[in-house]
Amino acid sequence: MVRILVVEDEPSLRDGIVDLLTGDGHDITAVGDGVAGVEAGLRDPFDLVVLDLMLPRLDGMEVCRRLRSARPGMPILMLTARGSEDDKVRGLMEGADDYVTKPFSARELLARVRVLGRRTPQGESLDEVRVDGAVIDLARMVVVRGDARTTLTPREVGIVRWLFRHQDRVVTRAELLEQVFGQRGDLQTRAVDMAIAVLRKKVETDPAKPTLIVSVKGAGYAWRMSR
Ligand code: CA
């Protein structure tokens, strides 16, 4: 069972989502505007937030930003209107993890909810990732290895989060560039490689032989492929 906060102002759609997710065995809290969404999300740690973009009192982008800064590990699935590509990109930059475009099918929504809301393995959470001999504390932005503490930049936290959340597949350089760096363009993908090299020095036991952030030749990077 996953605890989900649904923030959607249109009553019929909200009821439909609540019925669908309740029927899938989840525990749902539903609210109808952005202010109530922030209040609920700050009050309780949810496993997932399903957040409409166009909301009264406080728009979804601002709700996303506030929840993300208070609870960096809480996954957010954005609901966007058809054709608003700019909104999707902006939403992901504000820290949303994924989006579905309205109108969406029940199957489509459930698939995204199952991926984002799934419990992470071995007691790991998106606030704290335990790796060989170290803890990557994403909320406090530090890597703790024995007595040594290394500070992470917001971008490095973003890279770790993105790779960790998408650990079932290879993540391309272009994707990291767009989703974490907020940039586009083939020429800039070198910046991704440089950032990964610096990050490996902080999180890998042996940066020369990375086992956590693995290079996949011709494709990009993957989180701990052996798992
Ligand atoms: Ca709406």
Number of C-beta neighbours around residue 199 at 10 A: 24
CA of 147 to the centre of ligand 1 (A): 48
CA of 79 to the centre of ligand 1 (A): 9
CA atoms within 13 A on the CB side of 108: 11
- Tell me what percent of the chain is helix, strand and coil, each rounded to the nearest 5: 45, 20, 35
Res 88: pLDDT: 63
Res 56: pLDDT: 96
Highest-pLDDT range among 6-15, 69-78, 100-109: 6-15
Structure tokens at 96: 């949303």
Evaluate whether the domain defined by 128-223 bears CATH number 1.10.10.10. yes
CA of 15 to the centre of ligand 1 (A): 13
The confidence band for 225, taking pLDDT boundaries of 50, 70 and 90, is low
Q: Which CATH number fits domain 3-118: 3.40.50.1820, 3.30.1330.10, 3.40.50.2000, 3.40.50.2300?
A: 3.40.50.2300
CA of 97 to the centre of ligand 1 (A): 19
Dump pLDDT digits (tens) for 171-208: 999 888 887 877 777 677 888 999 999 999 999 989 99
CA of 51 to the centre of ligand 1 (A): 9
The structural domains of the chain, with segments of one domain joined by +, span 3-118, 128-223
Structure tokens at 31: 């609210």
Provide the greatest CA pair distance for the chain: 55
Mean pLDDT of 108-133: 71
Mean pLDDT of 92-121: 78
Helices (H) and strands (E) in the chain, counts: 8, 11
How far is 3 from 141, CA to CA, in rounded Å? 25
CA of 56 to the centre of ligand 1 (A): 8
- Determine the Cα angle at 56 with ends 54 and 60, to 5°: 40
Residues with CB under 5 A from ligand 1 (ion): 9, 52, 54
Res 33: pLDDT: 98
CA of 81 to the centre of ligand 1 (A): 9
CA of 133 to the centre of ligand 1 (A): 46
Cβ–Cβ < 8 Å for 223, 212: yes
How far is 164 from 136, CA to CA, in rounded Å? 11
Res 226: pLDDT: 46
Res 167: pLDDT: 80
CA of 158 to the centre of ligand 1 (A): 28
The confidence band for 124, taking pLDDT boundaries of 50, 70 and 90, is very low
25 versus 36: the higher-pLDDT residue is 36
Structure tokens at 32: 């109808």
121 versus 210: the higher-pLDDT residue is 210
CA of 54 to the centre of ligand 1 (A): 4
Res 122: pLDDT: 37
The confidence band for 42, taking pLDDT boundaries of 50, 70 and 90, is very high
The confidence band for 123, taking pLDDT boundaries of 50, 70 and 90, is very low
CA of 14 to the centre of ligand 1 (A): 10
Provide the sign of the torsion angle of the four alpha carbons 183, 187, 188, 192, taken in this order: positive
Spatial neighbors of 215 by CB under 8 A, at least 6 apart, are 221
